[in-house]
Structure 1
Amino acid sequence: MTTAPADLARSPSGGFPELPAELAFDRPDEGDGASLWRIARDSQVLDLNSPYSYLLWCRDFAATSAVARDPGGRPVGFVSGYRRPEAPGTLFVWQVAVDEAVRGRGVAAAMLDGLSAREARRQGGLRCLETTIERGNTASERLFTSYAARHGASLRREVLFEPGHFPEGEAHATEVLHRITLPGS
């Protein structure tokens, strides 16, 4: 069983966050790659991928990703994700970042909820959300813990990648997998 789209699409009065009124929820497009790279870079927390990878992401994974746009259409936040090929009912969230100008206004939570609702409407629905979070990234921990609580979902954590999994000379913290199983799954 999968979560019904209506279960993931409540309004703020139903307990789910919405973007601030001046922002719009959208899919990224190829022209957004440079902006997403900049937002990730400026976060000073995310692993920064190559600019080319953000361009490809906006082309190849736009359907499973989201952006928040300011009134001029410029991205001010994004969630990049993909459906796991071996588990198509699972959306893996790769990165979430919000421009400093709109941080602290619930933009990340609203994008995550909006993307979940959109994915729940797709064929096959949505059973699980996964992400990895480096130990010590309390903002991301709070974002995904509060998402699970809002949706009445279970949250399981386990180490996915240890520092030794990364290339030699690459200093990298442990990546902890957060698996959120939605009700009815």
Structure 2
Amino acid sequence: MTAAQAALAGVDTEFLEMPEGLELDTPRVEDGAAIWRIARDSKVLDLNSSYSYLLWCRDFAATSVVARDGGGEPVGFITGYIRPERPQTLVVWQVAVDHAQRGRGLAAALLDGLTLRVAGGLGVRSVETTITPDNAPSNRLFSSFAERHGAAVEREVLFDGGLFPDGGHEPEVLYRIGPLAAPAPPR
């Protein structure tokens, strides 16, 4: 994403470094199937129904983001929502990057771009997500995000593995990251 594209999208580029040939965008309903496939092919995410990804793209587009390749196809995404009891908190639900795009820093660029957008547009000042203890890539992603943004990280078990009805589920550890710095004013 160029500085001009970022300005048009309302995204501060202080932290944002999109891999070449990719751009950040707001998901659209027609992206739901591609997002579902990326989640399925990740083989690590809890896969939701294809219907839920369509709804997500309709109802939570303002708090989610996709990365598009040169042909406009989604190659990565983050789904998120504003926590009702804490309207300054973005809950990151899922992060996934297509196998062909991994190792380029795309997940970090998606997270930076999304949080900068929702901080400026919705007043978000903190991020929450849950990560299982065996998910080292997500742990690194969110720990490095906090470091880049000079924010504290608190961790605690949110859902013990025994609460899941399907058995054998790792506990979900809640990461609370914040406060995030206020976004820079428009230039």
Deviation of 1:165 (Å): 1.5
Partner of 1:157: 155
Whole-angstrom CA distance in 2 between matches of 1:24 and 1:76: 10
- 8 A contact 1:157–1:176 mirrored in 2: yes
Whole-angstrom CA distance in 2 between matches of 1:142 and 1:31: 31
TM-score by length of 1: 0.89
| Structure 1 residues 98-113: aligned runs within 5 Å | 98-113=97-112
Partner of 1:27: 26
1:7-29 deviation digits (Å, cap 9, x = unpaired): x8343xxxx24111210100101
Deviation of 1:170 (Å): 3.7
1:16-63 deviation digits (Å, cap 9, x = unpaired): 241112101001010011101110111111111111111110110000
Partner of 2:126: 128
Whole-angstrom CA distance in 2 between matches of 1:130 and 1:151: 14
* Identity fraction in percent: 62
Deviation of 1:183 (Å): 4.6
Whole-angstrom CA distance in 2 between matches of 1:95 and 1:85: 18
Whole-angstrom CA distance in 1 between matches of 2:143 and 2:181: 18
Deviation of 1:84 (Å): 0.3
Whole-angstrom CA distance in 1 between matches of 2:32 and 2:13: 30
Secondary structure of residue in 2 paired with 1:122: helix
Taking a change above 3 Å as real, the CA distance of residues 42 and 179 of structure 1, as seen in their structure-2 partners, is same
Partner amino acid, structure 2, of 1:177: L
Taking a change above 3 Å as real, the CA distance of residues 17 and 171 of structure 1, as seen in their structure-2 partners, is same
Partner amino acid, structure 2, of 1:82: Y
Are positions 1:182 and 2:179 aligned together? yes
1:100-138 deviation digits (Å, cap 9, x = unpaired): 111000000000000011001114x12110000011100
Partner amino acid, structure 2, of 1:182: P
Partner of 2:114: 115
RMSD: 1.5
Instruction: After the TM superposition, list the runs of 4 or more consecutive aligned residues in structure 1 that deviate by more than 4 angstroms.
Output: none
Taking a change above 3 Å as real, the CA distance of residues 183 and 94 of structure 1, as seen in their structure-2 partners, is closer
**Any unmatched runs of 5+ in structure 1?**
1-7
Q: Higher relative contact order by CA 8 Å / sep ≥ 6: 1 or 2?
A: 1
Match of 1:9 among 4, 7, 12: 12
Partner of 1:144: 142
- The number of residue pairs the alignment matches comes to 172
TM-score by length of 2: 0.88
Partner amino acid, structure 1, of 2:90: L
Whole-angstrom CA distance in 1 between matches of 2:40 and 2:84: 28
Deviation of 1:95 (Å): 0.3
